[in-house]
Amino acid sequence: MRRTILFAASMMVFTFASGEGLTLADVKATSAVQLSADDLKQLLPGAKVVNQIPSGSTRRWQNSPGGDLAASSDGRGNATARVFSGSGTWSVDAKGAYCVRIQWPMQTEEWCRYIFKAGDKYYTFLTLDDSARAWEFEISK
């Protein structure tokens, strides 16, 4: 019985660390804290952001203090697998969400996400519904 509990706990930690299949409820269960608009206004200007999309592509961008950003993608998971770049804007909306708009060569990406911090990890969510899918972002200065 004890081994089963330890195995289950270790699998939960692995799943959480990989960011796969997590929901807002899962992240909240770790005592994660939602960052307020004021927190985001301190964290995001000048920040470097990295995230990986389901296709496997890693995207990186840096937020300028003035609200612009420069982005790149390694292109993994797309048909051409080539590196490409884009430019755009970022902001913090009135609801305390981090909003990004990136003009990539073939499309425009636009979203707003709420950010939670759990330990040294950042998780973002399109909504504050407990079933919302978690997206792990690396955010650093």
69 lies in some domain: yes
Can you tell me the distance from the alpha carbon of 100 to that of 92, in angstroms, rounded to the nearest whole number?
9
Which CATH number does the domain housing residue 85 bear? 2.40.128.640
Contact 23, 128 (CB under 8 A): no
pLDDT tens profile 42-57: 999 999 999 998 888 8
8-state DSSP, 58: E
131 lies in some domain: yes
Domain extent for 63:
22-140
15 lies in some domain: no
94 lies in some domain: yes
The pLDDT-based confidence of 19 (bands split at 50, 70, 90) is low
8 lies in some domain: no
27 lies in some domain: yes
Amino acid at 75: G
Can you tell me the distance from the alpha carbon of 102 to that of 108, in angstroms, rounded to the nearest whole number?
6
Total tally of structural domains belonging to the chain: 1
Q: Calculate the average pLDDT of the chain.
A: 86
pLDDT tens profile 88-139: 999 999 999 999 999 999 899 999 999 999 999 999 999 999 999 999 999 9
32 lies in some domain: yes
126 lies in some domain: yes
pTM summary value? 0.82
